[in-house]
A = this chain, B = another copy of it.
Amino acid sequence: MSAADDAGEDDGGLSCPLPLSEHPRILLAHGGGGRLMQQLIERLFLPAFDNPLLGARRDSAVIALDGIRVAFTTDSYVVHPLFFPGGDIGHLAVYGTVNDLAMCGARPKWLSVGFIIEEGLPMTTLERIVASMRAAARACAVELVTGDTKVVERGRGDGLYVNTAGIGIIEHGLDVGPQAVRAGDAVLLSGDLGRHGIAVMASREGLEFDTAIESDLAPLHGPVLALIDAGIDVHCLRDLTRGGLTAALHEIAATADCGIELDEAAIPVHADVAAACELLGLEPLQVANEGRFVTFVPATQAAAAQAILRAHPIAQAAIRIGQVADAPSAGVTLNTAMGVRRVLDLPSGEQLPRIC
């Protein structure tokens, strides 16, 4: 049997509704969390791998298994450099996938690990990263249960890439996702924005700021499960990785067909991060975080939810930043400190390559 022949026989379903060939080659921006990545997903991956689980476009697929709901997710990590202020690729690869599970309201349980190592990587570097993954897994009470190692020639990688996939269990009856978002829902943010992207970028470029900016990298299942355990009717959760708050809210607004109104003054950004963003020409609301999420809850439960989040060390600064508009399809808008309402645009491309 020829696999190549098979492929040739069955590519009819991939005729794209819109041409992908606007860009005949892959750009860094196709991995950046912005408009080009959305196009790749919508015009190539979703039509090809068409199925309801993928189509739901959550952080994890939710699989029904004899009455048990199982969340399943994957991410590859290509962060450069491997070690950065506040973390490293090992912690990132564990927490990042734990967080994708948590964003479905699942309790993270088991992880797989795939290493793609560039020939010549110092053995001590690999040992440090493996130790880091071990510590991160323990901190989340997840087990790394299966793995794979590949080695590529010098110049065909960049030290180390790590993939993790994760399985979690959904232990409650909520159906968390954009489809559950309702007009009037309060939007809560778990903390200040932009530290992860700026920390990695500063480390990579050798930039020095007055005070060291550390990544916000953290596991998020603790505060999420606390909300659910307390009976908060959590409608939607999303961690603010590539593309930051802006990309996350755009995706939710598009999937839920709702408008989201934010209050700019309420959104916390450290002065150091704001200064670094100004220096680098970046928009803090588009910078990636690895320990921040938004949650959509009924307005009547917003204060209770905020109090629960603030009891967690990694969400001490949790705050209500806006609400879901009554009008559908209104996009994401920002009420600025100047009293002006402006549309928050989705970045088209790649602000900060390889920050996760």
Interface residue ranges, A against B (CB under 8 Å): 1-4, 6-7, 9-11, 13-14, 20-21, 23-32, 37, 40-41, 44-45, 48-49, 51, 53-54, 60-61, 63, 65-66, 68, 70, 72-78, 83, 85-88, 90-92, 95, 109-110, 112-124, 126-128, 130-139, 143-153, 155-158, 161, 163, 165, 167, 169, 214-215, 217-218, 313-314, 350, 353-354, 356
Give chain B residues whose Cβ lies under 8 Å from the Cβ of A217.
3
- Please give me the residue from chain B that is nearest to A152 by CB atom: B78
By a CB distance below 8 angstroms, the chain B residues around A135 are 6-7, 9-11
Please tell me if the beta carbons of A122 and B25 are within 8 angstroms of each other in the complex. yes
A150 touching B3, Cβ below 8 Å: no
Copies of this chain, count: 2
Across the interface, do B51 and A143 meet the contact criterion of CB distance under 8 Å? yes
B72 near A131: Cβ-Cβ < 8 Å: no
B134 adjacent to A14 (CB under 8 Å):
yes
Q: Provide the bound-state CA to CA distance between A40 and B123, in Å.
A: 10
The reply to whether A149 and B314 form a contact with Cβ atoms under 8 Å apart is: no
Instruction: For the complex, give the distance between the alpha carbons of A116 and B79 in Å.
Output: 12
Partner of A148, one of B20, B26, B76: B76
The answer, among B90, B145, B215, for a CB contact under 8 Å with A72, is B145
Chain A: interface secondary structure? Answer: mixed
Give chain B nearest CB distance to A16 CB in angstroms.
8
Contacts of A314 in B (CB 8 A): 1
For A144, A155, A350, A354, the residue with the greatest tally of chain B CB atoms inside 10 Å of its CB is A144
Q: Are A3 and B95 in contact (CB under 8 A)?
A: yes
Contact of A37 with B86 at beta-carbon distance under 8 Å, contacts A3-B95, A217-B3 already known: no
What separation, in Å, do the CA atoms of A146 and B62 have in the docked complex? 9
Give the shortest distance, in Å, between A274 (CB) and chain B (any CB).
22
Q: Decide yes or no: A4 and B76 within 8 Å by CB, A117-B26, A131-B10, A155-B155 being known contacts.
A: no
Q: List 9 A-B contacts (CB under 8 A).
A: A14-B134, A20-B123, A51-B143, A60-B146, A72-B112, A73-B146, A74-B146, A74-B148, A78-B116
Quick check: B88 and A31 within 8 Å, CB to CB? Answer: no
Q: Is the CB of B3 within 8 A of A137?
A: no
B66-A2 in contact (CB<8A): no
B146–A14 contact, CB under 8 A?
no
- Which residues of B are found within 8 Å of A146, using beta-carbon distances? 53-54, 60-61, 72-74
Taking a contact as CB atoms under 8 Å apart, the answer to whether B132 and A3 are in contact is yes
Chain B residues closer than 8 Å to A169, beta-carbon distance: 65
Q: Which residues of chain B are near A313, meaning CB under 8 Å?
A: 1
Give the 10 A-B residue pairs with the shortest CB-CB distance, closest first.
A31-B151, A165-B165, A3-B87, A3-B91, A74-B112, A61-B145, A11-B131, A7-B132, A163-B163, A53-B145
